[in-house]
Structure 1
Amino acid sequence: MTATGPDWDCIVIGTGMGGGTLGRALAEAGWRVLFVEKGAAGQRQARNGLSEIFVPEARLARGLWPEPLHATVDGRDSRFYAPLGAGIGGSSVFYAATLERPERHDLDDLLDRPHPTGGWPVGYDEMRPWFDHAARMYHLHGTPDPLSSDAPPPLDPPPPLTATEAALMARFRAGGLNPYYAHTAIRRSDGCLNCLGTRCPRPCKMDGRSAGVEPALATGNAEILTGAEVTRLIAGPDSVQEVELRQGGALRRLRARHVVLAAGALNSPRLLLNSLSDHWPEGLANRSGLVGRNLMFHLNEMFAIWPPRDAPDAGATKALALRDLYTAGHTRMGMVQAMGIRASYGEILFYLNRMLAASRLGHVPGLPHLTRLPAALAARILGHAQIFVGLMEDLPYLHNRVLPDPDRLAITYAMAPELLARRHAFRRAIAQAFRGQRRLFLGLGPELNFGHPSGTLRFGHDPARSVLDSQCRAHGLRNLWVADASFMPTSMGVNPSLTIAANALRVADHLRKDPT
């Protein structure tokens, strides 16, 4: 490094599925990589974060995003803590390790179509090797989807089904469904499968930390700054020149040949919108006016299913998934998967209170206390019912966006009529698919999955209709790249984690080949 040269080959902002995966690939290729992470380093043995913690410093110490999300949904304002991480591994250290490959039509059927229906500039066959690479890197295990006509991703054999799982699997098949063992990122030599959805004290769950940052640091080519908040990117007419960050109350600036944004689909556009300059008065990379727009989530359709009456109680399951309802004709729906949660008193109380909060009775004082008795009765009746979720695809609309607010994380979102119509069709399809089985829907109105934001820096060929090019480099900025869920033109009908990791590996490959 010279006095006038860059400090690093690449600065990676964020350490989740995208940033951790990409940073590891570059470090293993010999690049000097600096990870910048807002949260603390933390310990694997640290207590799992809780949404009831409201002190920002305490949330950061537990790996949780310290700020509440200010959301205006269908004109109704709310303020809550979204399921976002802040620490090495980002949100992925709390995820349920479900890495499902999308369907071929998720990418190919929308190839090169204009907004608002989407448009993937990279098709399924081009992404396929990167899906396989990510599956091996994250030690994916499970069984093939019996409905797929494509060869499955590389899968390690899953552990044997429990008695509860085997009973549910047999019941689903008898009803004409096609379940399979869900694709989960667990290194079985270390794993116990009890850490899904929590911060694991061992490196068995493969996430942005265990599969990304830690192997990158082990190469000796990477370093990490924790407790460092990037405040803005300082850019000239065609490149990012410096990264400004605050660490320990002091501002500092760093330089790199390349900068990768991997702060998540909410915070990456927020940073760009707040990086104003004479060259970029509308916000960095925002000549299209699309930075922060086309925000998408999945819709959750939660329901409980009882195992057969004679099935033993073997605990909660995360093993079952099916794609029988992924589409209905040309209607885009999504997959169904077990959540790893039993319908116990605590979960039922949570869902009852959430339904009440969304109803006309939501503002009645003391009403949540009255749900305890019905929750206890329901838990007694439900026994060891398992909770499943139908994960329904969202589509992009310009009015759904991250707001350019430097002081708070804020979004506005309005549910499109077609989304509500698909949601009703999906709910009916679930009821029909599980007819004859004891089941209970756990929600009334539509529920956004705030843990799956995507789409706010969409990639495409046309700079007027996209923020990034097909390599996920910002239009007009030769050294700024994106490696989180914000690149996605559509949300697809599966969890986004495998697609984020696969695309991060693809972007790292383009970076290594870039001559600048």
Structure 2
Amino acid sequence: MSHDFDVCIIGSGAGGGPVAYSLAKAGYSVVVLEKGPWFTEKDFFKDELACCLRGAYTPNLREEPQIVELENDEGGWRSTSSWNFWNGNCVGGSSNFMSGFFHRLKPVDFKLLSTFGPIDGANIVDWPISYDELEPYYDKVEHEVGVSGRIVAHPHAEPRRSPDFPYPPITEHPISKYIDQACDKMGLHAIPTPRAILPYPSLGRKGCSYNGYCGSYGCSTGAKGSSRAALLTQAVATGRCQVRPNAMVSRLVNDHSGKIVAVEYYDKAGQQKRVDAQIYVVACQAIETARLLLLSTGPRHQNGLANGSGLVGQNLLFAGGGAGSGRLPYAKFSQEKVEELRNFGPFINRALQDWYVIDDPAFGPRQKGGTIDFVHRHPNPVARATRQIRGRKGIVWGKALKDKLKAHFSEGPYVKIEAFCDWQPVPDCHVTLDPKIKDKWGLPVARIRLGFHVRNLQIGWYLAARGAEVLRQMGAEDVISFASGAPPTNLLAGTCRFGDDPKTSVLNADCRAHEVENLYVTDGSFMPTGGSVPYTWTIYANAFRVADRIVEQLGT
């Protein structure tokens, strides 16, 4: 039987790009269906209002809401549609707007249950694969996407086949050496943060321009290793990959055998189209992937495609952790150091993983910890100025606001702490279909319940406090640290966890659906636990791994 394409991929971000790239390079025909438009470097100018306050790269919530359930004071759940978990609605997805912190998972992350035992109220399981199985693909991402960094020995360093990164660290701000000096005095091991950013032109892309506008912004030079810039451009250049933007997939059509036979989607004009392939890959990010599978009912899939276990949409993961900041006041430093601190553009680019496993009797039994990254506050002035309006006793205005703004922008730079730890999978953090509310295509929208485990907060507070100690050692003032149960809206995983048992997982170890022989899921949905780092590098690596499995299934 002939097909339109060998492989159809829904979604073009970190989960879809490696599959399209690998399959097209291997000689197979590929179509990528992307819900959003196709932006290029010329579209990513640094307009703070257009980018970050007006949602230029995400859907209009009036047309495509997501219903969020939050726990109320009585232990029940209240609904709101004001949250936005849409990320990067365009070719390349949210990888266009990442900060590019590319930490690997570590061997311990694959065996949390075996290593530390169960956590009451959390659905912890071991992964069906090991770090050693994924390591070659971490290495592949370094070279194909372009990862910069420098290997530094530290207690929780993961094993790797390459002695160092293929690209040296991007240019670092002088604050980096202050962190190094403070950590040396404290007996800690500061490491350069691996970044999916090219320090100089390579791989057909330009190097970093060091304008400071990185996280939440698209890269105007192509230095950032987005799926679009690093992979899809090359996939299309083979002549064997089509990317169809503005293609809203509404359903995966499946027949009496349970297999997918076609994809239905709406084009930019609102016309319904159809395409078929031998193999289908879903990579829409965890929430929308779960929604699409739940929408795709059929004769053998009454409760949603691949949902015989009832686990599609369950075990939704975010990133747990904490945060903090401190200011390095110019008044405390020599004129020479002040000139260094005034430097603008280079990255602080430092991280700590000394507490990736916490072995502190004062805190409790030996348990999984996390990663602390040190970064600049984002340079966008409108958002920073707006935040100064809020004071401890209410709204600040008049001369008090002017003085506060002057101090904030002119008396010394802030250093920010971002601490990452595991978000424990819990029964009350999941995705279902809303029974009443529909989007502009008449499809039920995602209903997202945001329960969380207290362990997220405990580890987050611990890590943030350790980061704050480093800031104080550096001489920072106005140091704060905290943790919150509210999830970050840009770090999503879970909902289609992989495993060996079809009763307790949606996908097998190769990320192929247990119940659907021609369906793979390659975004972060496959992850049963998320680790203590941002997810993107692991999603990239796993997608390259799964691409090899798809090649094997298709045959050479």
The two structures share one fold, judged by TM-score above 0.5: yes
Aligned mate of 2:367, from 314, 331, 341: 331
Equivalent runs, 1:120-269 vs 2, <5 Å:
120-147=127-154, 148-152=156-160, 154-155=164-165, 156-187=167-198, 188-189=200-201, 190-192=206-208, 193-194=210-211, 196-197=214-215, 198-236=217-255, 237-247=257-267, 248-269=269-290
CA distances 1:86-136 after superposition (whole Å, capped 9, x unpaired): 111001101112211112201134469997112200011111111111111
Against the structure 1 CA distance between its residues 50 and 457, is the aligned structure 2 distance closer, same or farther, given a 3 Å change threshold?
Answer: same
CA distances 1:212-269 after superposition (whole Å, capped 9, x unpaired): 2111001111001111100011112331111010112111111100000011111100
**d(CA) in 2 for partners of 1:205 and 1:513?**
31
**d(CA) in 1 for partners of 2:106 and 2:411?**
34
Against the structure 1 CA distance between its residues 463 and 144, is the aligned structure 2 distance closer, same or farther, given a 3 Å change threshold?
Answer: same
Conserved? CA contact 1:355–1:443, under 8 Å = no
Q: Which residue of 2 aligns with 1:376?
A: 405
Deviation at 1:410, TM superposition (A): 2.9
Q: Which residue of 1 aligns with 2:504?
A: 465
Aligned mate of 1:454, from 480, 489, 493: 493
**d(CA) in 1 for partners of 2:358 and 2:3?**
52
Conserved? CA contact 2:321–2:459, under 8 Å = no
Deviation at 1:395, TM superposition (A): 1.5
Equivalent runs, 1:282-361 vs 2, <5 Å:
282-307=303-328, 309-310=333-334, 311=337, 312=340, 313-315=342-344, 317-329=347-359, 330-341=366-377, 346=382, 348-349=384-385
Alignment-mate amino acid for residue 134 of structure 2: M
SS in 2 for 1:336: strand
SS in 2 for 1:122: coil
Against the structure 1 CA distance between its residues 396 and 451, is the aligned structure 2 distance closer, same or farther, given a 3 Å change threshold?
Answer: same
Q: Which residue of 2 aligns with 1:512?
A: 551
**d(CA) in 2 for partners of 1:82 and 1:513?**
35
Equivalences, count: 498
Deviation at 1:331, TM superposition (A): 2.5
Q: Which residue of 2 aligns with 1:98?
A: 101
**d(CA) in 1 for partners of 2:149 and 2:260?**
42
**d(CA) in 1 for partners of 2:298 and 2:53?**
39
Conserved? CA contact 1:22–1:212, under 8 Å = no
Against the structure 1 CA distance between its residues 240 and 207, is the aligned structure 2 distance closer, same or farther, given a 3 Å change threshold?
Answer: same
Conserved? CA contact 2:258–2:301, under 8 Å = no
Q: Which residue of 2 aligns with 1:56?
A: none
SS in 2 for 1:18: coil
Against the structure 1 CA distance between its residues 175 and 350, is the aligned structure 2 distance closer, same or farther, given a 3 Å change threshold?
Answer: farther
Alignment-mate amino acid for residue 504 of structure 2: R
**d(CA) in 1 for partners of 2:66 and 2:471?**
36
**d(CA) in 1 for partners of 2:472 and 2:348?**
22
Moved more, 338-347 or 441-450: 338-347
SS in 1 for 2:286: coil
Q: Which residue of 1 aligns with 2:58?
A: 64
1:13 equivalent in alignment to 2:50:
no
**d(CA) in 1 for partners of 2:504 and 2:402?**
53
Aligned mate of 2:430, from 382, 385, 401: 401
Alignment-mate amino acid for residue 263 of structure 2: V
Q: Percent identity?
A: 26
**d(CA) in 1 for partners of 2:327 and 2:272?**
56
Alignment-mate amino acid for residue 486 of structure 1: S
SS in 2 for 1:411: strand
Against the structure 1 CA distance between its residues 110 and 445, is the aligned structure 2 distance closer, same or farther, given a 3 Å change threshold?
Answer: closer
CA distances 1:286-310 after superposition (whole Å, capped 9, x unpaired): 1111101101111342222345734
SS in 1 for 2:515: coil
Conserved? CA contact 2:182–2:473, under 8 Å = no
Alignment-mate amino acid for residue 464 of structure 1: K
Q: Which residue of 1 aligns with 2:416?
A: 387
**d(CA) in 2 for partners of 1:295 and 1:101?**
21
Moved more, 137-146 or 443-452: 443-452
Q: Which residue of 2 aligns with 1:84?
A: 87
Deviation at 1:515, TM superposition (A): 5.0
Against the structure 1 CA distance between its residues 444 and 22, is the aligned structure 2 distance closer, same or farther, given a 3 Å change threshold?
Answer: closer
Alignment-mate amino acid for residue 50 of structure 1: C
Q: Note the residue ranges of structure 2 that are not aligned, 5 or more in a row.
A: 72-76, 360-365, 435-442
Conserved? CA contact 1:260–1:480, under 8 Å = yes
CA distances 1:382-437 after superposition (whole Å, capped 9, x unpaired): 62122221112212112211121343333111122333333333344334455534
Q: Which residue of 2 aligns with 1:424?
A: 461
Deviation at 1:344, TM superposition (A): 8.2
Aligned mate of 1:441, from 459, 477, 480: 480
Against the structure 1 CA distance between its residues 477 and 14, is the aligned structure 2 distance closer, same or farther, given a 3 Å change threshold?
Answer: same
Alignment-mate amino acid for residue 194 of structure 2: H
Q: Note the residue ranges of structure 1 that are not aligned, 5 or more in a row.
A: 54-58
Conserved? CA contact 1:42–1:63, under 8 Å = no
Q: Which residue of 2 aligns with 1:275?
A: 296
Moved more, 371-380 or 94-103: 371-380
Against the structure 1 CA distance between its residues 419 and 160, is the aligned structure 2 distance closer, same or farther, given a 3 Å change threshold?
Answer: closer
Deviation at 1:318, TM superposition (A): 4.2
Q: Which residue of 1 aligns with 2:74?
A: none
SS in 1 for 2:372: strand
SS in 2 for 1:118: coil
Against the structure 1 CA distance between its residues 380 and 175, is the aligned structure 2 distance closer, same or farther, given a 3 Å change threshold?
Answer: farther
Alignment-mate amino acid for residue 64 of structure 1: T
1:499 equivalent in alignment to 2:538:
yes
Conserved? CA contact 2:390–2:396, under 8 Å = no
Alignment-mate amino acid for residue 488 of structure 2: N
Moved more, 162-171 or 285-294: 162-171
Alignment-mate amino acid for residue 466 of structure 2: A
Alignment-mate amino acid for residue 284 of structure 2: A
**d(CA) in 2 for partners of 1:318 and 1:161?**
6
RMSD: 2.8
Against the structure 1 CA distance between its residues 42 and 431, is the aligned structure 2 distance closer, same or farther, given a 3 Å change threshold?
Answer: closer
Alignment-mate amino acid for residue 506 of structure 2: V
Alignment-mate amino acid for residue 158 of structure 1: P
SS in 2 for 1:461: coil
Deviation at 1:43, TM superposition (A): 3.2
SS in 2 for 1:71: strand
SS in 2 for 1:277: coil
Against the structure 1 CA distance between its residues 18 and 369, is the aligned structure 2 distance closer, same or farther, given a 3 Å change threshold?
Answer: farther
CA distances 1:456-507 after superposition (whole Å, capped 9, x unpaired): 1100001111110000001110000011001001110011111000000000
Conserved? CA contact 1:342–1:384, under 8 Å = no
Q: Which residue of 1 aligns with 2:362?
A: none
TM-score, normalised on structure 2?
Answer: 0.82
**d(CA) in 2 for partners of 1:81 and 1:175?**
40
**d(CA) in 1 for partners of 2:481 and 2:462?**
17
**d(CA) in 1 for partners of 2:402 and 2:501?**
57
Alignment-mate amino acid for residue 546 of structure 2: V
